[in-house]
Amino acid sequence: MDPVTGIVEKKVAEGAFNWVRKRLSPNAELQKELEAVKDRLEAAKRRIQELQAQFDVKKDFERRKAELQCLSDDDSMYRQKDGTGPYYCPLCLNADNKFIPLTHGTSDGSHYCSLHKQYFETLELRNRRRNNNQQRNSGGGHFRRGRPGPWS
Ligand SMILES: [Zn+2]
């Protein structure tokens, strides 16, 4: 073989090799970028799943809350629309999105939220107390409770 031809062929081969290498290395870069994009996509998918779960919880909460009604006369406590089940704390429901059944307070119609350390009273209890006070102030009358007064 003509040495010149050999050199030329070698140069051509090197040139081709370099060309191929240049072609390949951007692909390697692309491959890396693709991996990074895939990672970001996976992270975004996980975030969407998290948000979806939060949304489901919120939707479930709103659905349950819609079954309740706010008893504005009874210190805005919440209860099932048919008047059954426990009373719920309006602060817990509206501020914290939580269903915390109130526990019984000191008397019938008094309800206590152990989270907010607050009592809630029904209109009926306030009326009963007012009537009792009026009866007491008017100096007697019948007490349904049957508790002896200070005068007896
Ligand atoms: Zn509460």
Residues 12-51: pLDDT tens digits? 888 888 887 777 777 888 889 999 999 999 999 999 999 9
Examine residue 98 and state whether it is found in any structural domain, yes or no.
yes
pTM: 0.59
- Asked if residue 96 and residue 60 are part of one domain, the reply reads no
- Asked if residue 8 and residue 59 are part of one domain, the reply reads yes
Please give the distance, rounded to the nearest whole angstrom, from the Cα atom of residue 79 to the centre of ligand 1: 14
- Domain extent at residue 18: 1-66
Which are the contacts of 114, defined by CB distance < 8 A and separation ≥ 6?
100, 103
- Asked if residue 43 and residue 4 are part of one domain, the reply reads yes
- Asked if residue 4 and residue 62 are part of one domain, the reply reads yes
Please give the distance, rounded to the nearest whole angstrom, from the Cα atom of residue 98 to the centre of ligand 1: 8
Examine residue 150 and state whether it is found in any structural domain, yes or no.
no
**Number of structural domains found in the chain:** 2
Examine residue 145 and state whether it is found in any structural domain, yes or no.
no
Task: Supply the pLDDT for residue 151.
Answer: 54
- What is the Cα–Cα distance from 117 to 99, expressed in whole angstroms? 15
Please give the distance, rounded to the nearest whole angstrom, from the Cα atom of residue 119 to the centre of ligand 1: 9
Please give the distance, rounded to the nearest whole angstrom, from the Cα atom of residue 53 to the centre of ligand 1: 24
- Asked if residue 77 and residue 114 are part of one domain, the reply reads yes
